[in-house]
Structure 1
């Protein structure tokens, strides 16, 4: 099985969005450089242009992703990226509600009730490739259940003060190893930690 990585951009004070799901400047670094993250006809090739340092970090990470796990909130907010996620071949949505009828039937999106079942499905789909888990409530549940191998955080120099927490409502302590990734991009600091077992 591939590595399960909890990942997202985060404010310095630990938020991935404000109370109204606004991300403010958290994703501005995806458009502040001249180096594309992806190339080809993915539809994302012209949208994401970052600094060279960020591209050297993000490109291999995104290329390694076989499946992404997200919550229903993110699916609804983005309309599932119209069936074309920025990275990976498959998306697993943690939801008790089914896929909307008629929504992009060609897209490899799977709606699964419960975090353990979602991770199992994502690992099945990803094979040896990485399973990326979006941070927030679902990501916090994955960490709390002991299903995350690593945590990757793109720290953006902004303070939100309140909002949606990177780790959701995690209510227990979880130890991480010292960072094995520390990369300074333009208006972002990329950090990677292995989860201590």
Structure 2
């Protein structure tokens, strides 16, 4: 059965994007990351929020632009939206219901991870009790504003650290939801 993993690169002050959804801040921190490279083959599908799907790309201008993990991963993506585009996009399914999208993503992932992309999707998975793990790469930068990695509005979620890795360009933390 698929596990649901929320992953992202964030600033030390907890922002996934800068003001206005800017992701260019992340580009200097996209260097080699052995944990991410080992994780990518374990991902069976993506569950993506529409704002993230349409959003800025830290790989802009490079060969990985517009591709999951900068081109390191290919497979089925399930984008939650009430406004699907008119055109078909290979390997992308637009779904208007979170529960249905998650179920489809889990089925497609098989025994691999459903990787969640986007703050809204991460929050919805956690609220639904469907989030198993969190992987975050913390870049040594303070953004001061933008979209927060988690904005729970209160509450307490207990975590158990699975791993921690210090890298030249930041720190990775991996947690299991208790």
What's the TM-score bracket when you normalise by the shorter of the two chains?
Answer: 0.7 to 0.9
Residues 1:96 and 2:74 aligned together = no
Tell me by how many angstroms 1:108 deviates.
1.1
Aligned partner of 1:5 in structure 2 is: 5
**Which of 164, 168, 171 is matched with 1:186 structurally?**
168
Counterpart secondary structure, 1:154: strand
Q: How does 1:1-197 map to 2 (within 5 A)?
A: 1-31=1-31, 50=32, 54-55=33-34, 57-77=35-55, 84-86=67-69, 87-98=73-84, 100-104=85-89, 107-167=90-150, 169-196=151-178
Matched-pair contact (CA < 8 Å) for 1:6–1:139: yes
Tell me by how many angstroms 1:78 deviates.
5.3
Aligned counterparts of 1:78 and 1:84: Cα–Cα separation in 2: 12
Counterpart secondary structure, 2:142: coil
Aligned counterparts of 1:137 and 1:121: Cα–Cα separation in 2: 18
Moved runs in structure 1, 4+ residues, more than 4 A?
81-84
Aligned counterparts of 2:88 and 2:148: Cα–Cα separation in 1: 29
Residue 84 and residue 26 in structure 1: after superposition, are their counterparts in 2 closer, same or farther (change >3 A)? Answer: closer
Matched-pair contact (CA < 8 Å) for 2:22–2:56: no
Aligned counterparts of 1:16 and 1:67: Cα–Cα separation in 2: 21
Residue ranges of structure 1 left out of the alignment (5+ in a row): 32-49
Aligned counterparts of 1:113 and 1:7: Cα–Cα separation in 2: 22
Residue ranges of structure 2 left out of the alignment (5+ in a row): 58-63
After superposition, the CA RMSD in angstroms is 2.0
Tell me by how many angstroms 1:6 deviates.
0.6
Q: Please give the TM-score of this superposition, normalised by the length of structure 2.
A: 0.85
Q: Please give the TM-score of this superposition, normalised by the length of structure 1.
A: 0.78
